[in-house]
Structure formats: structure tokens, C-alpha cells
Amino acid sequence: MKPFYIYNTLSRRVEELRPLRPGEISLYSCGPTVYLPQHLGNLRCYLCWDFLRRALEFNGYRVRQVINVTDVGHMTSDSDSGEDKVETTARAQNKTPLEVANLYLKRFQDDLASLHVEAPELWCRATENIPAMIDLIGRIIAARYAYVTPSGVYFDVEKYRGKNRIGRLSRQSLDEQNAGQRLSHSADKKSPHDFALWVLNQPHHMMQWDSPWGRGYPGWHIECSAMAMKYLGETIDIHTGGMDHIPIHHENEIAQSESATGKPFVDYFVHNAFLIDKEGSKISKSAGHFPLLSDLSASGFEPLAFRIFCMGAKYRSELALSDEGLRGAQSNLEYFREFARGVPADIAAEKSDTEFAGGYRERFHEAINNDLNTPQALAVALEMVAEAYRRGERRVWNTLKDFDSILGLELGAVRDASADIAPEIQRIIDERTAARGNKDFGRSDELRAELEARGYEVKDNRDGTATYRRRAT
């Protein structure tokens, strides 16, 4: 295998990936809290991890990916204060928490399918893994890093961090953190920085379970540690999430996991940057501003255009949402599709490509292995198609299909859907494409008329591409 490099938040540098087991990667991705639709900023996160998973598979790794579903325990603040987010929506909509969670999980999964995000090996729901959380809390208590009070079981952050008080992932000291953001409803914590592992004596909470410490429900942070360890092991290769998880959620995951096991929890923490709006603000639910995938569709952009749009920026760089950028992505989508439609059956059946495709393959591979440089990989794929057009050579199809294992556009299905176009018709289409490229619109119109006379519908798109379909009889 070629070396694969990724930025590790733990070390603050790009490192060569060295998995725990040769040829296999364990990948845990922080999943959604299912209380509202997932906005475009959330979806960008999962597109980033889809690119990562596909890139690892491109390199020959078997990837075991787990994504959690938070359907209990995530309060309206990322610490322990406020009301459970799922219950807040349930009360507002006069539904049960299960109905709310099921509704918004289904919407989320439908959006991912529209974006061609591959499903993980396992979706794990917090409410279905309560015994694993109780077991892990018991191990933390036995290790003397947690204590029980009337209001709950709390992790002793100051004891775990010791004298230097520095978080290993965030590199912040407890003194630098805003204690006002860490205050709980309870006054019986040793420190405002301590966080809840299990919440007790909340009689109005709609979801509760029996435990050795009393009837209650889990804290948000313990859920991810318990499920990651249950399904992937006590040490995992890669843990992904948004940059906003670094100072609290992922820092707390490390503390509670390693205090219980005495082993490293994660070898590589990988975080994505935010999608921002035109004014430069983070797109978030808490800000009350969250455009959805359906909003893009209503504006004439396909979900796969958003996929290409997100591929056009590195995962750890902020990406500004813009109509101009989406129009460019939609144009690139049609450009790839138009090329795929023009691949004749004899070339599609070949096993090898023309010689010049090999150089593009090397450059594409180098880009994705260099800290998942998707914009460079996308540029290489577009450049190869342009060169193929220039040479009048479609024998780059196998290489493009390999690229598409990461692009995720399902170009093979696009080509198969247009496979009934006869070779002589394809030659006319190719000639018309060249005429339009040379701005010979007179010849383009003549060829359009010929195609229509032969029973084809011709649609010239605003981005300069064209769509050809056999007219229904």
C-alpha cells in the first residue's frame, strides 16, 4: 500500500496512517442528535468522512465505520445544562421522543443517500446501548475517576488532568475554559468542570433506565465512548467529528475512556471545519439559521452538486456557501455525466486505458493520500476528462470509474442509462460538442436538427453542457 497521510489533531501535524491491524481501519464518526433536520453544515461533515472512508478503501483498506445516533442525553448546551434536545422537540411537537428520533434519523439517512454517502457498517443508537454505558461508568468509578452524588454520577476532571490541568486534545487548561459554560443544574459537583456520566433525580425526564446508582439517563459524552469501544475496541484508529467537538466532547471522551481502560482511546483524531454562510457565520441550529438540502433542490441544484461543491475544499478548511460555487459544481457534475454518456460499449468493455491516463491516476492517488486533498483530486479528474475530449479519446473510462469510487457520482450507472445510443448517433453528439466548444453555432444547430430528426431530444444546459435522450414513442 502507498503511504496515506492525515492531519491528527492530537499531534497538530500531518502523520502517516499506521493502523492497529494491517489492512484494516476502525473509524468512529460522531453522529447526529436527531431532534431537528440536519442542515447543510452537518451534511458537509458526513461528506468529508465519506471522502475519507472512500479514500481509505481506494488504498485497499477494509474500513469498519460506526456512526452513533444521539437520541437521548444531549442537552441544549454541549455541557450538562439545559433540557434534553430530543425531549424539547417531542414536547413542542406533541410526540414521543422515539417518534421524534425516528423521524429525523430517517430524514438524515435519506439526505445522505441523495448525496451518495455510503452507509456505515453500523448505525448505533444511544437508547439501544444503555447497558454498555452503565458498564463503562462502573469501570470509571472502580478506577476512582468518578463519584456519585444525589444528582448523578460525575467524572472528576481535575483528578484526571492532574497538576498541569491541560487537555491533551484541546491543549487548553481548565483555568482558560469559561467556567460559566460548564456550570450544571447541580451544586453537588466537586468542580464546575466535572461532567455527568449518569443523571439522577430528574423525574420529569421522559427517558429513564434503571442503574446501580438509581433510575436516570446517560450523559452525552459517555455514549460515544461506550459505543465506540463496544463495536470497535478499546483503542480505535480514527475518530472523526466537527472542530466544535475538540474542547469539550472529544476531550471528555478521551478522559473517561482512558481512565477506564488505561489504554490510548484513539490514535488519530480528525476534525472538519465549518460550512459558513455568505456573511461569514457558522451555519448552525443554535443560531437559528440552517439551510437544508431541500432548499438547494428548490433552488435548482442537485444534491450531487453539493457533493462536488464540498469536494472543492479541504475538509479542515472553512467553506463558504455560495450560489456561484454551487453553479460551478452543478456544471462540473454535468461535465462528468456528459462524458460518461458518450462512452461507447466497446470501450466500456475494455479492461485497460490509453497510456496517458496513467499519469492522471498517479496524480489523483497522490492528492487523496496527501491529507485527503479532495480539491486537487477533483481538479485532476476534470483535467483528465478535458484532455480526453481534446484528444478525442474516451479510453480513460476505467480510470475515471476508479476516480468515481471517491467522487461518488455513479457515472457507471449514467453511462449504462445511455447505452442505447447507437455509435453513429454518438459521433454526431461528439461533433456537436466540438462545434459548441469552438463556438460554431451554425454547425451546432445543423447537428441538433439532425439528431431531432433521428428521434432524439436535445437540451442545451445553461452551463454549456447538453443532454441527449431518445424521444419516447
Asked whether residue 220 falls in the same domain as residue 340, the answer is no
Within-domain flag for 262: yes
Residue 271 CA to residue 349 CA, distance in Å, equals 41
Q: Which of 223, 211, 228, 219 is nearest to 263 (CA)?
A: 228
Asked whether residue 196 falls in the same domain as residue 73, the answer is yes
Last residue of a domain, one of 252, 272, 292: 272
Check pLDDT > 50 for residue 294.
yes
**Phi-psi domain of 105 (left: phi exceeds 0; alpha: psi -120 through 50; beta: other):** alpha
Say what the pLDDT of residue 75 is: 65
Asked whether residue 87 falls in the same domain as residue 227, the answer is yes
For 133, the domain range is 5-272
Residue 93 CA to residue 85 CA, distance in Å, equals 13
Last residue of a domain, one of 251, 272, 293: 272
On the 0-12 / 13-18 / 19+ scale of CB atoms within 10 A, 402 is middle
Asked whether residue 60 falls in the same domain as residue 199, the answer is yes
Asked whether residue 333 falls in the same domain as residue 190, the answer is no
The pLDDT tens digits for 369-416 are 999 999 999 999 999 999 999 999 999 999 999 999 999 999 999 988
Say what the pLDDT of residue 418 is: 73
Within-domain flag for 389: yes
Within-domain flag for 289: no
Which has the minimum average pLDDT: 72-86, 196-210, 235-249, 421-435?
Answer: 72-86
Q: What is the CA radius of gyration of the chain?
A: 26
Asked whether residue 247 falls in the same domain as residue 328, the answer is no
Asked whether residue 224 falls in the same domain as residue 334, the answer is no
Say what the pLDDT of residue 183 is: 42
Check pLDDT > 60 for residue 42.
yes
Asked whether residue 264 falls in the same domain as residue 364, the answer is no
Within-domain flag for 367: yes
Asked whether residue 357 falls in the same domain as residue 263, the answer is no
In the chain, how many domains are there? 2
Within-domain flag for 387: yes
CATH classification of the domain holding 247: 3.40.50.620
Say what the pLDDT of residue 173 is: 87
CATH classification of the domain holding 431: 1.20.120
The pLDDT tens digits for 421-471 are 777 887 888 889 888 888 888 999 999 999 889 888 888 876 567 777 777
Check pLDDT > 80 for residue 228.
yes
Say what the pLDDT of residue 274 is: 94
Asked whether residue 259 falls in the same domain as residue 334, the answer is no
The pLDDT tens digits for 133-191 are 999 999 999 999 999 999 999 999 999 998 888 889 999 888 776 544 444 446 789 99
Query: Which pTM value belongs to this model?
Result: 0.87
Asked whether residue 264 falls in the same domain as residue 391, the answer is no
Which has the minimum average pLDDT: 45-54, 136-145, 203-212, 439-448?
Answer: 439-448
Average pLDDT, the chain: 91
Within-domain flag for 297: no
Q: Which of 48, 59, 66, 68 is nearest to 17 (CA)?
A: 59
Within-domain flag for 315: no
Asked whether residue 247 falls in the same domain as residue 381, the answer is no
Last residue of a domain, one of 272, 299, 315: 272
